Structure formats: structure tokens, C-alpha cells
Structure 1
Amino acid sequence: MNTDELIELVKLHGKSIYGFCYQLTGNKEDTDDLYQETFLKAVELRRKLDVSRNPKAFLISIAIRLHQNHRRKLAWRQRIAPTAGLDEAANKPGSFASEATPEEAVLSLELRTMLENAASQLDDKIKLPLYMYYTADMTVEEIALALGIPAGTVKSRLFKARKTMRQVLEVDSP
């Protein structure tokens, strides 16, 4: 992969990869880091990347592995030397400048917060396909390829994620 091909990959898939990274990390700073690391790793693995064989799934799988490695390292560090307040930045709400009215902005923020809280309660096995499907706009087949699991397993995990989130949201609603 040369520089022009990398630029084309960023143009084609950059927004969906960034959105997926944001769903994984929950804050802008970590998202920026993960996004950049994903494309750097793609350059390192350019010999394995076949642009004709769904590069988006390849990039998503790189982002997932990098995020999992980071979480493992963070958990290991926490066991060795616990620190307080590392998750405070992950709970910052996003900005909604494009909303028409303040009431809609508040409702949208509340709905987003409820969805993020419900999704955070999910196990990674069912959370990752959910994020890949809804935030990265990947098909079931692309998710299966990226995660290395059968398409039927992806479908069942999506079903379980939706069902679990529905149950959590029904309990939380007044």
C-alpha cells in the first residue's frame, strides 16, 4: 500500500472508522489516538491488506485489537498500581450544536446517555458487533469477516444485544 492508497482508504472509510473508535473509547482524546494507531498499524500490515477484499472490515478489526490490547494493559496497570478517576473523561457528554431547539438537544442527550449506559452493560462479545453494525455501518458478513466468526453468530449476538438493551431501557424508563 502506498501513500495514495492510504489517503483513499481514509477518504472512503475514515468517518465510519472514527465513529466506531469513538464508540469503543467514549471520549475524543482516546478516539483520536485509536484512530491514528489504527491507520498506522494498517500501514505496518499493508502487505496483508487487500483493498479489493473489504478494507473497512480489516481496519475495524485492527481498531478492535488495538483497543482490547490497550484495555488489557490498563487493567494490568490497575492491578499493579491502582489510580482513581481514569474513567471520568469517558463520561463527558458530546456536543449537539446541530439541534434545532434546546429541548430537542436535552432530549437527544438524555436518549444518547441512556443508550450508552445500556450498551456499557453489555459484554464485549455482544457489544462489538452492535457497535460495528450501527456505528460503522458494517454488514453482518463484514462483521463476521472482521471478527473471524460465522455470520450466524454475528446475527445471534446482534439479537441478544438488542434484546438485552431493550430490557435495560424498559427497566430504566418511568
Structure 2
Amino acid sequence: MKKMTADEKIDRLRSYELAMYRIAKSILMQEEDCKDALQEAMIRAYCNMDKVKDISYLKTWVLRITINECNRLYKKRDQYGKIMLLEERGVVHKNLEEHWDLHKVISQLEKKYREPLVLYYFGDCSHEEIVQILKLPLGTVKSRLYYAKNKLKERLGEEYDAR
């Protein structure tokens, strides 16, 4: 990849900002933690962007940095006994209690099922992008998404709408 100017790097990062925010919000839930994670992820991506060999992998590389930073902050926060809650998307609910149920169910999924679900619904990533980010075979990504969606549907009942 050719060396980018500072403005080109910033423009690229801004184009990924919404996906980065959705991922951070879905993992960390708290706005201040999201801001911290995004700031750190942006700095790391900006400083190391020239190391990416193929520009077509830039988005997945940036989203992986975001996930890693969120996981770092989540582990740090978790040491103090806080619960992970994920932002709702793609789920129909009637009241706040059901919203909390969604967060509880998603936070109880194993990391290997939670990550592809978060990337797919909150990061707007395709299956192929999830493969690149998580470095897993396509079949594994699809099966983990299928499992996670079924667990949500099973635990949340008919209120769940798996788009």
C-alpha cells in the first residue's frame, strides 16, 4: 500500500468511525468507555496504518484494533465487577425489562459466539469481513452466528427478530 498523507489517514478513519462506534458501544455500553476505546483505537490505527500491505484489508484491520481495545477496557472494567451490556439492534421489544434481558443474554454468550454476533449486527460486517477480522474459516463464522442467533431466539422467545 502506498504511503498515505495525514489527511488521507484521517479521512479513512472517519469513514470507519460509525462501525467502530457501534462495536465499542455494543461491547462496552458506557459512553465514556466507548470514547476511550475509540480514541485509543484511532490513535493506534493512525500510527500503524502504513504497515497494512493491502488497502482492501484496512477496514477489517481497523475493526480488529477496535475490538482488541474494547476487550482490553472491558477486562479492566470487569475487574471491578461491572457487567457487560450490549446495545440493542435488530430486536423488537415492548419495554425496558426486555431490553435488559437482551443485554443479559448477549453478555452470557461465550466470547467465540459473542464476537461474530457483535461484528455482524453492530459492526455491519459481512461474513467475509468477520472471517478476516477473527481469522476463522467461513463455515465457523456462519455456524457461530447461527448458534448465537438461536440462543438469543431461544432465551428471548418470539420477541427476537433475527434479521
TM-score, normalised with respect to structure 1: 0.74
Name the amino acid aligned to 2:27. Answer: L
Q: In structure 2, what is the Cα distance between the partners aligned to 1:56 and 1:64?
A: 12
Q: CA, structure 1 residues 9+24, in 2 after alignment: closer, same or farther (shift >3 Å)? A: same
Q: In structure 1, what is the Cα distance between the partners aligned to 2:46 and 2:121?
A: 26
TM-superposed deviation, 1:69: 3.0
153, 159, 165: which one pairs with 2:140? 153
74, 79, 82: which one pairs with 1:87? 82
1:141 corresponds in structure 2 to 128
Q: CA, structure 1 residues 73+30, in 2 after alignment: closer, same or farther (shift >3 Å)? A: closer
Unaligned runs of 5+ in 2: none
Q: Which has the larger radius of gyration?
A: 1
SS in 2 for 1:138: coil
Contact 1:58 1:146 in 2 (8 A): yes
SS in 2 for 1:53: helix
Give aligned pairs, total: 153
Name the amino acid aligned to 1:87. Answer: K
TM-superposed deviation, 1:74: 5.2
Q: CA, structure 1 residues 172+52, in 2 after alignment: closer, same or farther (shift >3 Å)? A: closer
Name the amino acid aligned to 1:167. Answer: E
Q: CA, structure 1 residues 135+172, in 2 after alignment: closer, same or farther (shift >3 Å)? A: closer
Contact 1:42 1:49 in 2 (8 A): no
Unaligned runs of 5+ in 1: 95-105
Q: In structure 2, what is the Cα distance between the partners aligned to 1:112 and 1:14?
A: 25
Q: In structure 2, what is the Cα distance between the partners aligned to 1:72 and 1:3?
A: 32
What is the aligned-residue RMSD (CA, Å)? 2.9
TM-score, normalised with respect to structure 2: 0.79
